[in-house]
Amino acid sequence: MTKGKSIAIIGGGPGGLILARLLQMKGVMVKVYERDLDKNVRQQGATLDLHNESGLKALQDAGLMEEFIKNYRPNADLLRIVDRKGNILTDQHTILKDDTITFGHAHFRPEIDRGPLRTILIDSLSPETIIWNCQFVNMEPSGDGWQISFKNGNTVFADIVIGADGANSKIRPYMTEIKPFYSGITVIEGLIHDSAEKAPDIHALVKEGKVFAFGNDQSIILSSKGDGSTAFYFGFKAAECWTKTCGLDFTDREQLLSWFKEEYSDWGGIWDGMITSAENLFIPRPQYCMPFDQNWKAGANITMLGDAAHLMPPYAGEGVNMAMLDALELSQCLVNEDFDDLQTAIAFYEKQMRTRAAEVAMITMDSTAMLHSDEAIPFMTGVLS
């Protein structure tokens, strides 16, 4: 069905890149159009934990497990649960780990930084597969395909378009008018470079792994990165419009510190060091989720994957894993000769994807609510026991 057809993947995140890899392995003509200027753009955010049944499964099918094993970060998955004063309640670093829990084990969730994972995926592709500096503007039907326009003035034709462009997908509106709903939780993200020197107390608490702290219906999550930095996230209940009405300048460290001391007033002083030591840029992120019952009519030449299709908060750690599993299943459907046509193949993929995503989204929203309640610490310590 894809023989002689060109596929345009909009977005060069893990989902879009591994889809391109899987399709190229099957001889499909594919290009990835990415808004970043080049491959050297620094990857922000926390590390990614890949799951055996999804992210790792996709890497295995893509023939990239050897490279992943060379680049993953042993022990970065180890977690500490602490209270709002920084007291350690559960510490996976001190729990004797079963040596059999390794690659191939259902409960092994190895961590890798976003940059190295992206490099593995980019290097696996044929030269010039990725077209950089291509920010999507719009597209129009053209014959049996699409004419796509980018901000740099370029236009291209593709027989099939796949949206892998994340939470604010520009491809999704061409498929459905369904919009996400607000979860009730807003997150502020920050990053401490060289945390061992700039925030030694925080660095020691994280111990090259992760920290989850809870109290007063609020959360703080810290995650170490391989370059010696520490990413952090404040999670709290807020109105959907809070980022516009709060009056905070998120490039002003002193403003944010004053806000934090007021809103997190009975948290221990150790946490202030996150803000005073961080880059002078903090990113507010209201958390959204797609409806659990979303549905749309499948198209014959367009589909989507990952957050573009099933955005949800990050508190269950499923985002990148679902995107990579979407890519694996979609690649299999697009080259499956048992389907009569592309629309049938796409419809089959989307039905499976939506069913799976709805189940995970419900679990994620339950977890999001639980982690911002009085039951957060008993819930998490119970999960880890």
**What are the binding residues for FAD?**
49, 114, 307
Comparing CA positions, the residue from 328, 282, 285 lying closest to residue 305 is 328
Q: How far is CA 126 from CA 19, 23, 309, 368, in A?
A: 13, 11, 27, 40
Residue that is written with structure tokens 């049996």 in the block: 144
- Please list the helix, strand and coil fractions of the chain in percent, rounded to the nearest 5, in that order: 35, 25, 45
Which residue positions form the known binding site? 42, 49, 114, 307
Is 202 buried (19+), middle (13-18) or exposed (0-12) by CB count in 10 A?
Answer: buried
Q: Determine the Cα–Cα distance for residues 149 and 159; give it in Å rounded to an integer.
A: 14
Handedness of CA 136, 169, 163, 368 (dihedral sign): positive
Which residue positions form the known binding site for NADPH? 42
Helical H segments across the chain, by residue range: 14-25, 55-61, 65-71, 114-123, 195-198, 200-206, 242-245, 253-263, 272-277, 307-310, 319-334, 342-370, 376-384
Q: Determine the Cα–Cα distance for residues 115 and 43; give it in Å rounded to an integer.
A: 5
Question: What tokens does 257 get?
Answer: 């510190």
DSSP string, 8-23: EEE--SHHHHHHHHHH
Tell me 76's DSSP state: T
